[in-house]
Amino acid sequence: MIEEMKAVTVYGPGDIRMETVKLRPLKPDEMLIKVAYTGICATDLAIYTGECSFVKSGQIKYPCRIGHEWSGIVCECGSEVKNFKPGDRVITDNGVSCGYCEKCLEGDYGNCLNNKSVGTIDCWDGCFAEYMYMPERHTYHIDDSMSLKDAALVEPMSIALAGIKKYDITSDSRVAVIGTGAIGIGAAVLAKHLGAKQVIIVGRGKAKLESALKCGIDAAVSTHDGDVVKQVMTLTDGEGVDFTIETSGGEETIMNSVHITKKHGTIALLAFYEKMINNFDIDAFVGKEQIIKGVMGEFGLVEKAGKIMEQGLPLNGIITHEIPFAECVDFIRNYKDTASTRIKALVKFD
């Protein structure tokens, strides 16, 4: 029996601490899972700084045990767990249903009336910790072919998939992705995987754009090389793209999305902006009769993204940093130092 563990909690803006916490008894439908890798997400950093809109709205409360991107190995199983045993390699959903409300009793866990989000809103204690509790209904086996390290990318890939699945991508589609974080590059890789004719990624730093090209994306456009809209228009023979996926969270990129997308095209916003947006050229948008969709992750996509990744996606180059758990608090405090090179930083547990 393991009695205590080290875990990282944000107590308020700028106040992050690693501490020793006691483990509680396992519920019958739960497993205790030893965390192998945890991804550091922009949302974790925004909770740490206090800039996160959900902190401001009161939906994320301190203290908050952050972390929602992870993989691990089953350690103990509750008495009702049927399909897992100690030693199994797993990933999980990023939300945890209650299991007893009317929706849960119908098996509709995605619409649970008492849902908790892992490491964020109505916080289910997150994965900046040596162990996680998770009900069996939210846990998935991973194939032997997938490493625990790659498995920690499944959750951000599930968000990328949420953006991509809004589109009917065909071999005629041109797609632009704005943003070179893990979700941006992931969305671009998925668009290629689904057979898009042309996928263009737009970003700032050359190093991250180079990593994106290594993942098989057709073209990269840098804001350092002049007008982004002109560059995309040139690459698309003056047509613009059918679909744009905006993942950067930058205010000006929403307007660029309108300009680089064709008439009747669709734009998915797959980021949080953490502020109100001004200077939106609404008439350009209306004139092009476009659709802008706000997109969040949704229940069921972690399992689907895991299955797609098991087919082998070219995601090499996304993991730019690997930090031992003991050093992760320092890494988060100094996260600005790695901003220009960091795509996905993973925390590795012993």
What does the binding site for Zn ion look like in residue numbers (CB under 5 A)?
A: 41, 97-98, 101, 104, 112
Considering beta carbons, is residue 68 or 259 the nearer one to Zn ion?
68
Smaller CB separation from Zn ion, 10 or 241: 10
Residue nearer to Zn ion on the CB measure, 96 or 194: 96
Task: Rank residues 96 and 169 by Cβ distance to Zn ion and give the closer one.
Answer: 96
- Minimum distance from residue 328 beta carbon to Zn ion (Å): 15
Taking the complex as a whole, the smallest distance from the CB of residue 196 to Zn ion amounts, in Å, to 24
Phi-psi region of 13 (alpha: psi -120 to 50; beta: other; left: phi over 0): beta
By beta-carbon distance, which residue lies closest to Zn ion?
Answer: 41
Tally Cβ neighbours within 10 Å of residue 295: 19
CA distances 34 to 26, 73, 160, 349, Å, are 14, 5, 26, 9
Q: What is the DSSP string of 74-111?
A: EEEE-TT--S--TT-EEEE-SEE--SSSHHHHTT-GGG
Scanning the structure block, which residue is given the tokens 């069921």? 300
**Straight-line distance from the first to the last Cα atom of the chain, in angstroms, rounded to the nearest whole number:** 18
The span from the CA of 152 to the CA of 36, in Å, is 9
* Residue 97 or 139 with smaller CB distance to Zn ion: 97
Minimum distance from residue 335 beta carbon to Zn ion (Å)? 14
Closest distance between Zn ion and the C-beta of residue 120, in Å? 8
SS (H, E, C) 8-38: EEEEECCEEEEEEEECCCCCCCEEEEEEEEE
d(C-alpha 55, C-alpha 140), whole Å? 30
In the complex, the smallest distance separating the C-beta of residue 109 from Zn ion, rounded to whole angstroms, is 7
The smaller minimum CB distance to Zn ion, of residues 97 and 266, is found at 97
**Crossing angle of the two packed helices 182-193 and 206-214, in degrees rounded to 10:** 30
Question: Least distance from C-beta 184 to Zn ion, angstroms?
Answer: 12
